[in-house]
């Protein structure tokens, strides 16, 4: 394979991998929800929290520089028939996140939601107002924040890195097969190992720390993340054994790559663990 084609294939692999990761980050139910509203002729863009670690304050922050703008937050336990609790959001000075130091000083409106047990959820919406003018934020579709336990970085970081490696090298394996390269089996073997360790060993350990259960997929539950992981890994296992006997086979690594993409098209943590506040049990397979 000449250097130009070699460079092209790795560039294509990187582009597809980054695109898939970006899509999942933008669509996952645990990532902040972007909201755009207009109040008194000014546009505001907020990122509303949807996941919080137990032990750290569940602060809902709105960056609003205008001191004449105020807000009230309404919240209650998710899927519980109870009245909404109303709290006035307080104004204070904070700092934007930065790679180094505190970052720029900003004015925010903030309120702290009550901490819940692992997999517990609270839903909330906000009224933003200035004088007699008011705009509701997420009133028709309240934002849901889920609580999770602390996951040691010694477990979380290898898990994330190995999942990225499996997507990157798995994509390269499929592209290698499409372009009739001679390293498809090598890339498939790396994908199988990285995916197995990152998804089927470290993944359940991460879940154990976060939600108290090692495995909530089939046959014990309906957790989408567990199920899609084992499903996709099995396709790479088949591709590995097929290529070991027939190194020039192109169909199975391509199929395995497409299944891996399908897995990443399902938003991360969709259909995950959820605490039933009435029974005190954790359910799986819920959509939100």
The tally of CA atoms less than 13 A away on the side-chain side of residue 96 is 10
Where does the pLDDT of residue 101 fall: very low under 50, low under 70, confident under 90, or very high at 90 and above?
low
Q: What is the mean pLDDT of residues 232-250?
A: 96
160-180 pLDDT tens trace: 999 999 999 999 999 999 999
60-88 pLDDT tens trace: 999 999 999 999 999 999 999 999 999 99
Q: What percent of the chain has pLDDT over 70?
A: 94
Phi/psi at 13 (nearest 5 deg)? -60, -45
Domains defined along the chain, listed by start: 3-28+151-283 (no CATH), 33-148 (2.60.40)
Nearest-angstrom CA–CA distance, 274 and 263 = 21
pLDDT score at 285: 53
Nearest-angstrom CA–CA distance, 110 and 93 = 10
Q: What is the mean pLDDT of residues 93-97?
A: 83
pLDDT at 55 over 70: yes
pTM over 0.95: no
């Amino acid at each position: 394979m000449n250097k130009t084609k070699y460079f092209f294939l790795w560039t294509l692999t990187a582009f597809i991998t980054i695109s898939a990761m970006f899509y999942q980050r933008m669509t996952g139910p645990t990532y902040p929800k972007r909201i755009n509203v207009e109040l008194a002729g000014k546009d505001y863009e907020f990122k509303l929290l949807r996941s919080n670690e137990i032990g750290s304050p569940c602060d809902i922050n709105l960056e609003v520089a205008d001191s004449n703008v105020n807000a009230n937050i309404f919240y209650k336990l998710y899927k519980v028939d109870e009245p909404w609790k109303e709290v006035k959001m307080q104004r204070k000075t904070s700092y934007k996140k930065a790679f180094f130091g505190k970052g720029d000083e900003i004015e925010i409106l903030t309120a702290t939601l009550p901490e819940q047990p692992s997999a517990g959820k609270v839903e909330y919406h906000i009224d933003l107002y200035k004088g007699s003018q008011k705009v509701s934020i997420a009133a028709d579709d309240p934002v849901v924040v889920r609580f999770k336990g602390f996951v040691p970085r010694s477990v979380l970081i290898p898990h994330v890195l190995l999942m990225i490696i499996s997507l990157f090298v798995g994509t390269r394996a499929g592209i290698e097969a499409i372009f009739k390269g001679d390293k498809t089996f090598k890339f498939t073997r790396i994908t199988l190992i990285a995916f197995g360790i990152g998804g089927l060993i470290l993944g359940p350990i991460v879940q154990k720390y976060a939600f108290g259960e090692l495995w909530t997929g089939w046959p014990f539950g309906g957790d989408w993340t567990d199920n899609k992981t084992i499903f996709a890994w099995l396709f790479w296992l088949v591709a590995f054994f097929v290529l070991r006997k027939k190194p020039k086979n192109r169909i199975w690594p391509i199929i395995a790559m497409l299944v891996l993409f399908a897995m990443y098209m399902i938003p991360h943590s969709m259909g995950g663990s959820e605490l039933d506040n009435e029974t005190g049990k954790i359910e799986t397979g819920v959509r939100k």
